[in-house]
Amino acid sequence: MAADKVAFITGGNKGLGLETARQLGKQGITVVIGSRDPEKGAAAAQKLKIDGIDAEAIRLDVTKPADYKAVYDHFDRKYGRLDILINNAGVSREDFLAGNKTSVTSAEVLHDTFDTNFFAVIQLTQTLLPLIRKSPAGRIVNLSSILGSLTLHADPNSPIYNAKAFAYDASKAALNAFTVHLAHELKDTKIKVNSAHPGWVKTDMGTDAAPMEVIDGAKTGVRLAMLPDDGPTGGYFHMNDPLPW
């Protein structure tokens, strides 16, 4: 029953994360949002509660591994498990409209981007996995991007061929590799692991130039979080459509 499930959404106090929490909460799931700023997290949780959603916020700065243990202890103590993990928190340190700057992308930008978009996701997921294993049907959703598709980046006829933000794109390609490898490790369990491309969405990162509203951008992640037992694992999706790696 959805009403018995608990979900954790990183970077959940605004944008896609908050909308994902809202859509899951509307299905009767208890949602816990992770936020670097406890006050902003509490305010976001209060908005969800006004909508009739069972919600709470906890402090999580994904770049600070010391926070992970506190998150684990919270779920272990209060819920005894974790049913859904949405790895939503992400950053970009590049101008997506500046053209291909691969040859001058600094080590600092690469490290900063990978720390949040890749290494933090892995370490947090590894920390929480024992709790997800206790769920009757655990779901892990990694918020990727179509910009992580090497197949489409290499295709001159693809819509993203000229959209080359090297650090961000590489971090999402690496995240997709994590999805594939973790899904394979867990293939004989009830846990499903998938990558979601939300679309180009009107968020702080996507800007107002994006064609998609946040309410639609959250739909792919929510669908993957609610997959039935016979649903896919180790996949890369936008809405119902698989994307090429």
Cα separation, 56 vs 235, in Å, equals 30
Residue 187 · residue 180 · CB < 8 Å: no
Cα separation, 2 vs 117, in Å, equals 29
Share in percent of the chain as helix, strand, coil (round to 5): 45, 15, 40
For the record, the structure tokens of 180 come out as 């594939």
Task: Using pLDDT thresholds of 50, 70 and 90, give the confidence band for residue 8.
Answer: very high
| Residues pairing with 143 in the sheet | 196
DSSP summary character for residue 81? S
134-144 per-position pLDDT tens digit: 999 999 999 99
18-45 per-position pLDDT tens digit: 999 999 999 999 999 999 999 999 999 9
The residue among 3 and 241 whose pLDDT is bigger is: 241
Task: Using pLDDT thresholds of 50, 70 and 90, give the confidence band for residue 204.
Answer: low
* Residue positions annotated with a catalytic role: 168
Predicted local distance difference test score (pLDDT) of residue 1: 37
153-177 per-position pLDDT tens digit: 999 999 999 999 999 999 999 999 9
User: What is the average pLDDT value for the chain, to the nearest integer?
Assistant: 93
Q: Closest by alpha carbon to 61, among 93, 89, 32, 30?
A: 89
Average pLDDT over residues 200-226: 75
What class has domain 2-242? Answer: alpha beta
Predicted local distance difference test score (pLDDT) of residue 139: 98
Q: Closest by alpha carbon to 109, among 48, 41, 173, 165?
A: 165
Task: Using pLDDT thresholds of 50, 70 and 90, give the confidence band for residue 113.
Answer: very high
Cβ neighbour number for residue 244 with a 10 Å cutoff: 12
Percent of the chain with pLDDT over 90: 88
Residue 25 · residue 31 · CB < 8 Å: yes
